[in-house]
Amino acid sequence: MNRPLLAVAAALLSGSLLCAAPAVQAQTKTLHFVPHADLKILDPSFTTAYITRNFGYMVYDTLFAQDAKGTPKPQMVDKYTSSKDGKQWSFTLRPGLKFHDGKAVTSADCIASLQRWGARDSIGRAMNAAGAEWKAVDANTFTLTLKEPFGLVLDALAKPSGFPPIIMPERMAKLPATAPMTEVMGSGPFIFKRDEWVPGNKVVFVRNPNYVGRTETPSGLSGNKTPHFDRVEWLYLPDSNSSVAALKNGEVDMIEQLPADYITPLRSDPNIKIGSGGAYQGFVVMNQLFPPFNNPKARQAVLHAINQEKYVAAMGYPLDMRMTYCATWFICGGPNQTDAGAAPFRKPDLAKAKALLAEAGYNGEKIVVLLPTDITYLNAAALMTIQTLKSIGMNVEAASSDWATITARRAKKDAPEAGGWNIYVTVAGEFDVNSPVTNAYLSAACGNALPGWPCDKPLDELRTAWIRETVPAKRKEILDRFQERAFEAVPYAYFGQYSPAYAARKSLKHLDQLWGIPALWVLDK
């Protein structure tokens, strides 16, 4: 953040910006919210960044949405049917749906949006591989025809996280997907106020007066999303002391992700509520294009060296918000939890790790670890990774920078010695981790994977088999085989599970309805 923006933030915290607002705005019911990151990209169909995803749910809507139990529910859809073999589907939109410019939402908009989504998202690509074909019947009804069984149609259309299947106007959906869209035109509960957007400081939304809410009670991302607030302001305050002070003073209503070292002190504040932001897992992502991590034995070595308890403790979360050990790649406590193949990795084994490194041919080459300087919990996890690698004899070089720089650098396929990298750390929420298909980091499709670029045909084939299988017992068998193969191929090394915390003024109502993703439309005061 530059000095002018720091000045703006300081004015905000002093109350001067709020006091200087026009009189008409003083009559407006406003929610002041501190997001976890600065908004840079406005297109949730272009990036998996959670801040862009959250932005997307404010302004766009989806055909289906998961309720608080993870069950897909109709959202923009009024009614739907499917054939007994699950290959023929029909969907009819709810009446009266409009984009923010007043134009009606049509079947053509939905089809184009889903085609754009299907080209980028892992589950969308899987649906396309099953022969998905979309056709409009009329302005409000369209069909899906599949050539092969696909047991996740509704789950796909209700997918709640990175690359959500949002609906946008056809003209936008047909733009090239090689660059992010800059126009924002949804049909969701809020309208983005571009004229008030201050990058690095503030994002403003106003209530969509034409939003057609469902009659069902809000649950998860489903149900009635009619806002209680006229206006929502995202106030990006990267300085933790400033954001907490603003919360305690009532200048902001909620902090999306509270730094771990503030959790215990704020629990004793009678005006503040601390809540869980859902389950998260941490990842050590290794670049598999270059030695030593192009050899699975080197990746297995890292997994053998990881002490999950030490990792999550280093991140600073209290005991009731972290796990000492989790055996599954799919979120402990989630619908796909399994311990298949986990036994050899239950406890750290440094001797085994060193032996595997030797077998992989590692001989002291420099390992470049990307070290984020501006996100406390990722900094702690990266430092723990550096310590872990050194404990098994690896020669580590830390490359320090802010997270935005790291996200750009990790996308490059340059050699580590030429400005590339060997390892970075990241985290992902339960919506992106809880199955072989939603967890994009487990996709080992050669040439079509996330940075780290895992390539393992057996793992990818098991992933496809799990998607296509419709019998629950057989799907469980495939899931276990998938996880066993993941421990062999190691597309990444996971380092533990925890729950981040939000902090909010107790004057906010319906905080108990929040569901990992900040569904701000449910809140009131």
pLDDT recorded at residue 469: 84
Nearest to 187 by CA among 109, 135, 119: 109
**Local structure of residue 515 (DSSP, 8 states):** B
Stretch 466-474: mean pLDDT? 86
Q: Could you count the other beta carbons within 10 Å of the beta carbon of residue 268? A: 7
Specify the CATH superfamily of domain 280-498: Dipeptide-binding Protein; Domain 3 (3.10.105.10)
Stretch 392-402: mean pLDDT? 96
185 vs 471, more confident: 185
> Bridge-partner residues for 91, per DSSP?
80, 142
Residue 65 · residue 165 · CB < 8 Å? no
Q: What is the pLDDT of residues 311-321, one digit of tens each?
A: 999 999 999 99
**Phi, psi torsion values for 34, nearest 5 degrees:** -100, 110
Please report which confidence band the pLDDT of residue 69 belongs to, taking 50, 70 and 90 as the band edges. confident
Q: Give dist(CA 215, CA 224) in Å, integer.
A: 6
DSSP H helical ranges for 410-471:
457-468
pLDDT at 472 over 90: no
- CATH 3.90.76.10 spans which residues of the chain? 64-170
pLDDT recorded at residue 422: 98
Nearest to 293 by CA among 423, 407, 448, 443: 423
Stretch 247-274: mean pLDDT? 95
pLDDT at 523 over 90: yes
Sign of CA dihedral 516, 518, 521, 524: positive
pLDDT recorded at residue 17: 41
Nearest to 94 by CA among 111, 107, 108, 112: 107
DSSP H helical ranges for 41-106:
50-59
Please report which confidence band the pLDDT of residue 516 belongs to, taking 50, 70 and 90 as the band edges. confident
Pairing of strands 231-235, 30-34: parallel
> In the CATH hierarchy, which top-level class contains the domain 64-170?
alpha beta
Q: Give dist(CA 159, CA 298) in Å, integer.
A: 34
Task: Please list, residue by residue across 196-208, b when 16 or more beta carbons sit within 10 angstroms of its beta carbon and e when fewer do.
Answer: eeeebbbbbbbbb
Residue 39 · residue 203 · CB < 8 Å? yes
Residue 61 · residue 280 · CB < 8 Å? no
Q: What is the pLDDT of residues 7-49, one digit of tens each?
A: 434 444 444 444 444 444 457 899 999 998 889 899 998 888 8
Residue 511 · residue 275 · CB < 8 Å? yes
DSSP H helical ranges for 306-375:
308-314, 350-359
- CATH 3.10.105.10 spans which residues of the chain? 280-498
pLDDT at 87 over 50: yes
Sign of CA dihedral 157, 158, 164, 167: positive
SS3 content of the chain, % helix, strand, coil (to 5): 35, 20, 45
pLDDT recorded at residue 384: 98
Please report which confidence band the pLDDT of residue 430 belongs to, taking 50, 70 and 90 as the band edges. confident
Q: Give dist(CA 110, CA 166) in Å, integer.
A: 9
Q: Give dist(CA 240, CA 238) in Å, integer.
A: 6
Q: What is the pLDDT of residues 161-178, one digit of tens each?
A: 878 999 999 999 999 888
Q: How many CA atoms lie less than 13 Å away from 132 in the CB half-sphere?
A: 25
Nearest to 333 by CA among 245, 465, 433: 433
Residue 214 · residue 75 · CB < 8 Å? yes
Stretch 57-72: mean pLDDT? 94
> Bridge-partner residues for 204, per DSSP?
233
pLDDT at 509 over 90: yes
pLDDT at 3 over 60: no
Residue 133's SS3 state is: strand
1 vs 376, more confident: 376
pLDDT recorded at residue 5: 36
Stretch 121-133: mean pLDDT? 89
Pairing of strands 202-207, 231-235: antiparallel
Omega before 292 cis (within 30°)?
yes
Which two tokens mark 175? 């733009």
Interior angle at CA 255, CA 252 and CA 257, nearest 5: 170
pLDDT recorded at residue 25: 46
pLDDT at 473 over 90: yes
Helices 296-305/376-391 angle, 10° precision:
110
Task: Please list, residue by residue across 493-522, b when 16 or more beta carbons sit within 10 angstroms of its beta carbon and e when fewer do.
Answer: bbbbbbbbbbbbbeeeeeeebbbbbbbbbb
Q: Give dist(CA 242, CA 252) in Å, integer.
A: 11
Q: Could you count the other beta carbons within 10 Å of the beta carbon of residue 484? A: 16
Which two tokens mark 26? 């003083």
Does the pTM surpass 0.95? The reply is no
Please report which confidence band the pLDDT of residue 50 belongs to, taking 50, 70 and 90 as the band edges. confident
**Phi, psi torsion values for 452, nearest 5 degrees:** 115, -40
Q: Give dist(CA 219, CA 65) in Å, integer.
A: 9
**End-to-end distance of the chain based on CA atoms, in angstroms?**
31
Q: Could you count the other beta carbons within 10 Å of the beta carbon of residue 432? A: 23
pLDDT at 215 over 90: yes
Stretch 324-349: mean pLDDT? 95
CA distances from 310 to 373, 429, 487, 496 (A): 20, 20, 21, 9
pLDDT recorded at residue 11: 43
